Every structure is written in C-alpha cells, then in structure tokens.
Chains A and B, each alone.
Chain A
Amino acid sequence: MSRQLIAVIRATVNSTFGLSAMRWRYRRRERLWEILLMVFGIGTAVVVFGFGIYRFMLAVSANGLLFGQPELSLGLASMAGQVLVLFMGFFMVVSAFYFAEDLETLVPLPVTPGTIVTAKFVSVLIGEYLTISIIYWPSVAAYAQYAPFGIGKAIVAVLVFLTLPVIPLAIGAAASLLMMRSISRRQRDIMFYAGSILFLVLMVAWQMSLSGMPEQGDLQKYLEELIRTRLGLVQALAGRFPPAVWATGAIHEFGTFSGLKYLAYTLAGAAAAVYALGALGSRLFMRGLLGSREAGGSGRKTTGARARQGLVAGQPLLQPAASPLRALAVREWRLLSRTPIWMFNNVLPGLIMPVIMFVPLMAQDSMRQLIDQVTSSADGPLLAGAALAAFITFVGSVSGVAMTSISREGARLWISRLLPQSAQVQLQAKLLVSLIVVAVTSVPTLIGYTLIFRPSVVNLLLPALVGLAGASAVMTFGLLMDSIRPMLRWTDPAEPVKRNLNALIPLILAMALIAAGVAITALGRSGQWAPPVVYLLLFAIAGGATILAYRALISGAETRFGNLEL
C-alpha cells in the first residue's frame, strides 16, 4: 500500500468519524459527558439488539442442530449482514463518492482517482463493520453454544468478520461507479430514488422467495435433501450469494481442507474485490464526477430560460406569503425530501419494515392458519392490536427524521439561528414534519394489518392511536436529544443520519415503552380487562411520555439553541 494511499485513507477516515476532534476534546477534558453518553448509547443499543439476535440465533442453531447443521445461524448472519451491506452500503457509497463536500479538497490532490475511491471505500467499510458486528458476533456466540469452538475457529471468525462486508460493499461501489458514469446532477437524485424503489421491490421479492419454501406436505422431502448435503441449510438459504456460504464454511469446517478452501475463497474474494474496485475507480470515478457536474450546468440553462419566460409572463418572483411556522415546516420537508440519503434513512424504513413484516404473513398458508387461530381466540384481537401499537412505535423510533433534524442543518444552522422566530417555534415546525412523516409512513402498516387481521374499527383505530402516541414520544425525545448535542460538523450528508448517535438513543425509550406495553397487555389478559381499557392505559403511558418529552423539549429550547456554537 503506497504512502499516499495510507495518507488519504487516514485523512478521510479521520474526517468522516471526527477522530481528531474527539481526541482534541478528550485532551482538553471538554464535553467528556458526550463521549460517555455515546458509549452508553452505543452500549445499550448493542446489548439490546445483540441480545435479541443472540436469542434468535440460539433458536436457529438449535433447529439447525436437529438436522446436524448448527452452522445455520452463521449462514443466516452472514447472508443477512451481507445483504444489508449490499443495499445500505450502496447508498452510503454513492453518498461518499459523489455527494461528499471534501471531494473538492481530495480531487485536486496529486493522487489517482483509484486512491480517492479506495479511501472513501475504506471509510464506508468501517461504518459497515459497526453495523454488521451487531448481527455477526451474537450469531457466532450462538453457534459456539451448539458446535465445538476453539481458538482456531475464533481466529477464522475474526478473519471472516474483517472480510464479510468487503465483497457486498465492493459490488455496491462498482454498481455506483457504473451508474454515475453518465448521469447528471439532477439525475443523481432520481437515481437515488430509483435505487430506493428497486430496494423495496427486491425486499418484497426476497420475502416472497423465502415465503415460497415448501409447505408442510413437501417439507419432509425438502428437508431430507438439505440434510444430505454438507452446509445444505446454509446453501439453501444463502446459495444465491456464495460469499455467505464461504464465510460459514470457513468457520464451521475449520481444520479440514474444505474449511481451508472456503477461507481462501473468502480472503481472495475480498482482496480481488478491493483490487477490482480500485481499478474500476481509476477508470470511471473522475469521468462520473466531472460528467455529472458538467451535466448539472446544462440543466441550469434550461431552467434559467424557463425563468425568463416566466418573468416575461409577469409571474411573481416570490411564492405566496405563509405563516412562519408553515414556512419553517415547508423548508424542513423540502430539505428532507430533496436529499435522497436523508429520505432513504429517515422515511423509507417506515415503508420497508411493514413490507418485510407482512409479506410472509400474507404469502404463507401456514401463517394464515396461525393468524386465523390467533384472531378467533378470545384475546387474539387484543394481542394483535398491542403488537400493532408496538410495531408503529418501533417503526417511529427507527425513523431518524426528528432525531437528526437539527444535525441535518449542519453548517447551515446559522440561518436558523438568525431567524427572528423563537427556538420553540422552530422546534415545533421540525416536530410537526416528523409527526406527519410517521403518520403517513404508518399507512402501509395499517393497510397490511387490516388485510391480514381484519380488525373491527375500534381494534384498528385504538391501537393505531396508541402506536402513534408512542412514536410521538420517541420522536419528541429524539428531537430533544438532537437539540442538546446536534452533529453539526459533517462533510457527507449521510453522516448526520447514518453516524449520528442521536438516532440511536431514542430507541431506548421505544424499548421501554414497548416493554411497558407488553406488561400492561399481559396484565389485561390475566385480569380479563376489556381491550379498550388496555388501550386507554397504553395511550395514557405513551401520551404522558409525549407530554413530558415535549415539555422538556420546549422549556429549555431557547437556552439550548443559544448555546449551540457554530
């Protein structure tokens, strides 16, 4: 690796993750509480999600063991992690390659385009390690409970971890290089949205294909086939993405020639992917970057011409007057909706998650029978309603729309700070947009729920209101967090939504609300309370949390806003 490449990688990683800024603050003992808060937030998220995944993977491994294949958890984790990196990483890579503001510093440097592409790739890769580790390591731990696991396997597991996101991310990066080659600045946004829709379609297709596994009658034969084959279950699960099979084989078959072969495939595949990406980057990166900027210029002429026509026709220069609150909310929505990476991270999860959740429920006969059993039982509607409320709350908590609202303003926060509108009004506008986004993105959930469970109006509306109240509490709390410590210094618009701890902390509140909901629903079941009583209690808790969070948000808003130093 050349010294130039190392220097560019160091600078890019440093700037992306703010390492120097963190060191600087640590040395001055300045805002150490932020670092502690970050460790606490990440730690809590890792423990909550990691433990959930560990428990799930224990069940997967136990079931795999029934067929002599406990490595099923490894296969599932490898595939899920790599698919996640493939799709999410694609957007991150496009954002880092073509939208980052530091490109104007990097491009004039006497380094090859391949060096810039590789450095940017590494900075995205590091972020993906953080994501993938939450899925991978609990799965390895679960696997180790059901299969021999020594130091050798542990070393291979580390090697596999290091290479796991490389191939899918390189595929995403190569796709972005090819797509950006002849695309204009205006088309870049369209491409982002097209990619998002494609992502949705692929998610549905993936769910459908998983749902298309044999039903009970044929299951016996199907499973016998799988059991006879080595890594059969993993092959069946991840056969269409061989790197996941290699990763699993490298660990599970450690100490055999086959294991060595899979490890070699994994390492060589990752090395080849990085090399190929560097080569492709050398050829295509600059052409794509420059081409897109030139194409953007011609677009301006066209709109300029339209403007002149408009002026001739005597159209007003400005838009009709609006109230300050409305103007602030419209600005918030326009900036959110016109920045694809923000839409992808903040709005799309609300649309994707119901699809992931409901398609298998709708597609499989066995699941439909189970649902019929649930809904026909005495407390089935209550359980389904409580699950709906929890799901809407959870979806609201993963949408970072409120939690990153101030961070997204970044260096442009000076504009908001100069407006003669109180911090309260500005925060209300941000909250309003966030709540509208949550309400709108709840619609697919409500449609899916209605189609599957066919609830009464009361059993639809009451849990929906509870869920929206829960989501409101989480959003308001998230906005409060973001107003306390926004992430304002970023060079790539993906950073404030993807690498922002403020988007994670409110998950803790969501989990607490959901846990309270589970407890109250269990009490209601055992006490045979009428469902509306249970919903009323749940609504009181979620509504109370919203009011508390809102009061905290508004009460110190002016001071917090005034203390933000730019």
Chain B
Amino acid sequence: MLSIKGMSKTYRGSKVKAVDDLNLEVKTGEIFGFLGPNGAGKTTTIKAVVGLLRPDAGTITVDGVDVWTSPLEAKRRIGFVPDTPDVYDRLTGREYLSFIADVFEVPAAEREQRAKQLLTMFELEAAIPDLVQSFSHGMKQKLAVTAALMHRPSLMILDEPMTGLDPKSSHLFKELMREHCDQGGSVFFSTHVLDVAERLCDRIGIINRGRLVAVGTMDELRSKAAGESTLESIFLELTRE
C-alpha cells in the first residue's frame, strides 16, 4: 500500500539529515504505528509521504503511484490528518466539508451519505452550520478526520491523531481505523501514546535521529530488544542515546 524506498531529507541550512535512507512498507489492511522521540523525523516522513515536503532522495509510492511524479493520483488515495487541526476558521463546518467533497470530486450521490455517516459517528451534525472558529480543539480534530475520510481514501495518514480527542471520540476513532483496514485500507500513524500503539498496531516502526532503528510486530520488536517486554521499555532501549 505505502512504500518508502531510500528516502532522505535534509532541511535547507541544516547539516543534519532529518531523515536518512528510510525504507518502509505498509501492507494492505495493516495499521502501522510510527514511533520516535521528538525530532526523530516522524513528521518529516509524514509530510514527505503526503506531498508537503519534497525529499532529497528516494521514492514514495501509494498503491504503486509515485507521490512526487503523479501527485494528484496519489493524493486521491490519501486521507491526511495533521497533528494540529488547522482548518479554515472562517468557513462553517458544512462549507468546509462541501469544499473538500467538491475538490476531491466525491460523487454527488455519495457525498451526503458519507457526510451523514461520519458526522453522526463523531456527533458533529449539529455543529457543522457553525463557523469552525467556534469549535473546540477536539471538534476541529474530528472535523479534520471527517474531511480526510470523505473521499474514502485507501491510505489514512495521521500525525498524532489522538491529541485533543475525548475518550469516547478516541475509542470511536480507533474502531474507525480498524474498520478502515478490515475493508481493505491501511493506516499509517505517528503517536507518542505507546499503549495505543501496542494495542492497536499490526506493525510498528521506530525512528531515531532520522534512521529506522526497528520495524516489525510486537513479537519481532521484543526479540530485537532482548529482555524487554512492553513497548515502552523496547522504545526506551532502542532510542537510548
């Protein structure tokens, strides 16, 4: 589903590689957790995958479509939720979702039904006639998730998706991720909440100082960090300076 091969990125003016020769595969139907300390290269990787940041080297494909040579095709396959749900404050929720449905060319017959399904699930129906600036952080996050799913992407990419969600929404969201994968989609998400990653992810990748230091199922990670049993201890062991 998602393939990253030999990706490197150095920011202008910096001598340090933010991401260094990253190779990663996310399979169809898989929830992949991407972990790492602050500044390890998680957000840089995610930005490169969704087309917000051009890598210096390497290729990134989604469903076999190159993100940088066929960006529009790739974007139709991706649903992205950033770490801060910075959406247009001066549009109403309804206008924002309509805009997203229009530019993603969601079929007219499907858009209303899709909006109803997602908005009902996140209990946002009553709020969407309001301006987004009146939404709480959690509501904005849910709106961003709804917008990202309007066009039924095959790959969901989420940067710290649980931030700001209340327990109920967080639970719903996890169920949604699992459901998305059960229906043939994939999820690639970064998080600092190791409990969530441990319970939810089929596979986990750990990045440190721009390099992928471990990738695999929980069992495979345990075997790499001998003697450690929880994801937290494995993470600390593998990212020790």
Interface residues of A (CB under 8 A from B): 24-25, 28, 30-31, 185, 296-297, 299-300, 303-304, 306-308, 310-311, 316-319, 321-324, 326-328, 330-331, 334-335, 338-339, 411-412, 414-415, 417-422, 558, 562-563, 565-566
Beyond A307-B127, A422-B72, list 6 extra A-B contacts (CB 8 Å): A296-B134, A297-B134, A318-B111, A321-B108, A321-B111, A562-B54
Inter-subunit contact A307/B103 (CB<8 Å): no
Inter-subunit contact A411/B86 (CB<8 Å): yes
Inter-subunit contact B99/A327 (CB<8 Å): yes
A306, A308, A318: the one contacting B98 at CB < 8 Å is A318
Contacts of A422 in B (CB 8 A): 72
23 A-B residue pairings within 8 Å (CB atoms) = A300-B127, A300-B134, A304-B130, A310-B129, A316-B112, A317-B116, A318-B112, A318-B115, A321-B101, A321-B106, A327-B103, A330-B99, A334-B95, A338-B91, A412-B86, A414-B82, A418-B50, A418-B80, A419-B104, A558-B71, A562-B68, A562-B71, A565-B12
How far, in Å, is B103 (CB) from chain A's closest CB?
Answer: 5
How far, in Å, is B152 (CB) from chain A's closest CB?
Answer: 13
B-side interface size class? 35 or more
How far, in Å, is A433 (CB) from chain B's closest CB?
Answer: 14
Inter-subunit contact A420/B75 (CB<8 Å): yes
How far, in Å, is B52 (CB) from chain A's closest CB?
Answer: 5
Q: Residue B226 at the A interface, CB < 8 A? A: no
Contacts of A327 in B (CB 8 A): 98-99, 102-103
Residue on A nearest B12 in the bound complex, by CB: A30
B86, B95, B97, B130: the one contacting A300 at CB < 8 Å is B130
Most A-side CB within 10 Å, residue of B99, B106, B115: B99
Binary interface profile of B, 55-73, with partner A (CB < 8 Å = 1, else 0)? 0000000000000100111
Inter-subunit contact B125/A307 (CB<8 Å): yes
Contacts of B7 in A (CB 8 A): none
Docked CA distance A321–B151 (Å): 14
Docked CA distance A560–B88 (Å): 23
Inter-subunit contact A331/B99 (CB<8 Å): yes
Inter-subunit contact B101/A318 (CB<8 Å): yes
Q: Residue B76 at the A interface, CB < 8 A? A: yes
How far, in Å, is A556 (CB) from chain B's closest CB?
Answer: 14
Q: Taking A327-B99, A419-B75 as contacts, is the C-beta distance between A307 and B130 under 8 angstroms?
A: yes
Docked CA distance A29–B175 (Å): 49
How far, in Å, is B115 (CB) from chain A's closest CB?
Answer: 5
Q: Taking A334-B90, A415-B88, A417-B52 as contacts, is the C-beta distance between A317 and B128 under 8 angstroms?
A: yes
Main secondary structure, interface of A, reads helix
Contacts of A310 in B (CB 8 A): 129
Residue on B nearest A30 in the bound complex, by CB: B13
Contacts of B165 in A (CB 8 A): none
How far, in Å, is A267 (CB) from chain B's closest CB?
Answer: 42
Q: Taking A311-B125, A334-B95 as contacts, is the C-beta distance between A420 and B47 under 8 angstroms?
A: no
How far, in Å, is B109 (CB) from chain A's closest CB?
Answer: 10
How far, in Å, is A137 (CB) from chain B's closest CB?
Answer: 36
Inter-subunit contact B103/A319 (CB<8 Å): no
Most A-side CB within 10 Å, residue of B75, B78, B87, B90: B90
B12, B71, B105, B119: the one contacting A317 at CB < 8 Å is B119
Contacts of A421 in B (CB 8 A): 72, 103
Inter-subunit contact A414/B52 (CB<8 Å): yes
Contacts of A330 in B (CB 8 A): 99
Q: In chain B between 103 and 149, which residues have their CB closer than 8 angstroms to a CB of chain A? A: 103-106, 108, 111-112, 115-116, 119, 125-130, 133-134
Docked CA distance A17–B106 (Å): 41
Q: Taking A318-B101, A321-B108 as contacts, is the C-beta distance between A335 and B126 under 8 angstroms?
A: no
How far, in Å, is B72 (CB) from chain A's closest CB?
Answer: 5
Docked CA distance A389–B75 (Å): 44
Q: Residue B51 at the A interface, CB < 8 A? A: yes
Inter-subunit contact A565/B53 (CB<8 Å): yes
Docked CA distance A326–B47 (Å): 28
Q: Residue B94 at the A interface, CB < 8 A? A: yes
Docked CA distance A416–B111 (Å): 20
How far, in Å, is B173 (CB) from chain A's closest CB?
Answer: 20
Residue on A nearest B144 in the bound complex, by CB: A415
Docked CA distance A415–B129 (Å): 20
How far, in Å, is B80 (CB) from chain A's closest CB?
Answer: 6
Inter-subunit contact A307/B129 (CB<8 Å): yes
Inter-subunit contact B125/A420 (CB<8 Å): no
Inter-subunit contact B52/A328 (CB<8 Å): no
Contacts of B86 in A (CB 8 A): 411-412, 414
Contacts of B104 in A (CB 8 A): 419-420
Inter-subunit contact A318/B97 (CB<8 Å): yes
How far, in Å, is A150 (CB) from chain B's closest CB?
Answer: 48
Residue on B nearest A299 in the bound complex, by CB: B134
Inter-subunit contact B126/A308 (CB<8 Å): yes
Contacts of B108 in A (CB 8 A): 321
Inter-subunit contact B52/A319 (CB<8 Å): no
How far, in Å, is A34 (CB) from chain B's closest CB?
Answer: 12
Docked CA distance A415–B127 (Å): 21
Contacts of A338 in B (CB 8 A): 90-91
Contacts of A28 in B (CB 8 A): 12-13
How far, in Å, is A415 (CB) from chain B's closest CB?
Answer: 7
Most B-side CB within 10 Å, residue of A185, A331, A563: A331
Contacts of B129 in A (CB 8 A): 303-304, 306-307, 310
Residue on B nearest A302 in the bound complex, by CB: B130
Q: Taking A321-B102, A327-B103 as contacts, is the C-beta distance between A307 and B126 under 8 angstroms?
A: yes
A304, A322, A565: the one contacting B127 at CB < 8 Å is A304
Docked CA distance A330–B99 (Å): 9
How far, in Å, is B212 (CB) from chain A's closest CB?
Answer: 23
Docked CA distance A156–B127 (Å): 59
How far, in Å, is B155 (CB) from chain A's closest CB?
Answer: 13
Residue on A nearest B105 in the bound complex, by CB: A324
Inter-subunit contact B51/A562 (CB<8 Å): yes
Inter-subunit contact B112/A317 (CB<8 Å): yes
How far, in Å, is B190 (CB) from chain A's closest CB?
Answer: 16
A306, A324, A331, A418: the one contacting B91 at CB < 8 Å is A331
Contacts of B53 in A (CB 8 A): 565-566
Inter-subunit contact A412/B88 (CB<8 Å): yes
Contacts of A563 in B (CB 8 A): 54
Docked CA distance A319–B97 (Å): 9
How far, in Å, is B49 (CB) from chain A's closest CB?
Answer: 11
A317, A324, A326, A417: the one contacting B115 at CB < 8 Å is A317
User: Shortest 9 CB-CB distances between A and B: which pairs?
Assistant: A327-B102, A28-B13, A319-B98, A338-B90, A420-B75, A300-B134, A307-B129, A30-B13, A321-B108
B52, B90, B116: the one contacting A339 at CB < 8 Å is B90
Inter-subunit contact B51/A417 (CB<8 Å): yes
A25, A317, A321, A566: the one contacting B94 at CB < 8 Å is A317
Most A-side CB within 10 Å, residue of B106, B127, B130: B130
Contacts of A319 in B (CB 8 A): 94-95, 98
Residue on A nearest B84 in the bound complex, by CB: A411
